[in-house]
Each structure stands twice: as C-alpha cells, then as structure tokens.
C-alpha cells in the first residue's frame, strides 16, 4: 500500500488522510468490531497517529465491551460509517477501517486477531496467523490526540 492514502465516510462529512504506510493490517474478530462493521470482522489498518489528519467532526463512542486493542471508536455522525478506532494500549497508533479508504483494494491482512470472539460463520484465510486476543503492541512513539 502506498504512502498518502485518503479516506472518508459515505456522505463526505468526514474525510481523513494518512501520510505514512500502515504498520500492520489485521482482520479483527472482536465483538466490538463485529458490531461496528456489521460483519464477522473488521478489516483494520494500524497507522502512526502522527500521520493521520482528519477533516470534519467524527462522533466518538466507547463500547461497553471495550478491549485495550480499540477502545474508542470514531464514526460519521451523519451517515454512521465506521472510520477509526483509538487503542487504549497504544496511544501512538490509530486503527483505520479499511473499507473507509478511497482505494481499499490494497488491504492485505497479516493476521486474524481476537479470534476468541470469532463467529462460526467467519471465513478466515488459513494461510495467515491467528491471534487469540490483541496482537503485539507496535512501536509506540509520541502520543497523539485527535
Ligand atoms: Zn458521513
Ligand atoms: Zn476488534
């Protein structure tokens, strides 16, 4: 996936731009991602928070069943598109919902994570690793506030 990739919600009220290559890409099967995505899992990119710029005012929600991996979710208040998630356990990164990218074709998951919550009807690529819960924390750098 190239550097500099834009994204946004379905109605255009919230846009974002990332200026760094993702640190990792995961399919997250946790219950919170199931609810946020409406599917069996959420395809997520882990990006350095410093590289992300947001235009618009996404609404925040902290799920009751928050896990450390992605505790606060950001979505468009107008159309409801899930956009980003902020992990408690690593303030240096932001998780981007892959489907919100303008060009989501480049998404290539390196692992299935939170398979403890995986649904029996989830189709997983058996050639990539499975992690029961959160993946290892990636290189925390400077804290970011969005
Ligand atoms: Zn929208
Ligand atoms: Zn998740």
Digit-coded pLDDT (tens) for 42-69:
999 999 999 999 999 999 998 876 665 6
Q: Which ligand is nearest to the CA of 112?
A: 2
Mean pLDDT of 70-94: 92
Distance 59 CA to ligand 1 centre (A): 10
**Residue 143 pLDDT greater than 50, yes or no:** no
Dihedral over alpha carbons 29, 84, 138, 71 (to 10 degrees): -70
Q: 97 C-alpha vs ligand 1 centroid, how far in Å?
A: 14
d(CA 59, CA 64): 16
| Window from 2-6, 35-39, 85-89, 113-117 with minimum mean pLDDT | 2-6
Residue 65: the pLDDT is 67
What is the rounded CA–CA span in Å between residue 130 and residue 109?
11
Among the bound ligands, the one closest to the CA of 46? 2
How far, in Å, is the centroid of ligand 1 from the Cα of 8?
A: 8
Of 51 and 71, the structure prediction assigns the larger pLDDT to: 51
pLDDT recorded at residue 142: 47
What is the residue-averaged pLDDT of the chain? Answer: 89
pLDDT at 90: 86
**CB 26: neighbour CB atoms within 10 A?**
26
pLDDT value, residue 2:
61
Question: What spacing in Å lies between the alpha carbon of 37 and ligand 2's midpoint?
Answer: 10
Instruction: For residue 85, give both structure tokens.
Output: 């998630």
**Ligand 2 center from residue 95 Cα (angstroms):** 10
Question: From the CA of 125, how far away is ligand 2's center (Å)?
Answer: 17
Would you state the pLDDT for residue 110? 95
Hey, what domains does the chain have and what are their CATH numbers?
Answer: 5-117 (2.170.150.70)
pLDDT recorded at residue 59: 98
* Ligand showing the shortest atom-to-Cα distance for residue 133: 2
C-alpha 29 – ligand 2 centre gap (Å): 6
3-state secondary structure the chain: CCCCEEEECCCCCCEEEECCCCCEEEEECCHHHHHHHCCCCEEEEEEEHHHEEEECCCEEECCCCCCCCCCEEEECCCCCCEEEEECCCCCCEEEEEHHHECCHHHCCCCEEECHHHCCCCCCCCCCCCECCCCCCCCCCCCCCCC
What's the rounded mean pLDDT across residues 90-104?
Answer: 95
Edge to edge, the sheet with strand 5-8 lists 5-8, 15-18, 52-55
What is the predicted pLDDT for the residue at 137? Answer: 75
């Amino acid at each position: 996936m190239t550097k500099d990739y834009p994204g946004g919600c379905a109605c255009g009220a919230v846009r974002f731009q990332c200026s760094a290559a993702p640190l990792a890409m995961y399919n997250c099967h946790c219950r919170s991602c199931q609810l946020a995505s409406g599917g069996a899992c959420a395809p997520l990119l882990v990006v350095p928070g410093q590289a992300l710029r947001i235009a618009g005012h996404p609404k925040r929600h902290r799920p009751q069943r928050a896990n450390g991996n992605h505790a606060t979710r950001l979505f468009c208040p107008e159309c409801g598109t899930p956009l980003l998630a902020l992990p408690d356990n690593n303030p240096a990164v932001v998780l981007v919902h892959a489907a919100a990218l303008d060009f989501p074709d480049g998404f290539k998951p390196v692992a299935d994570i939170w398979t403890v919550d995986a649904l029996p009807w989830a189709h997983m690529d058996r050639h990539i690793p499975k992690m029961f819960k959160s993946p290892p924390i990636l290189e925390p750098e400077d804290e970011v506030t969005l």
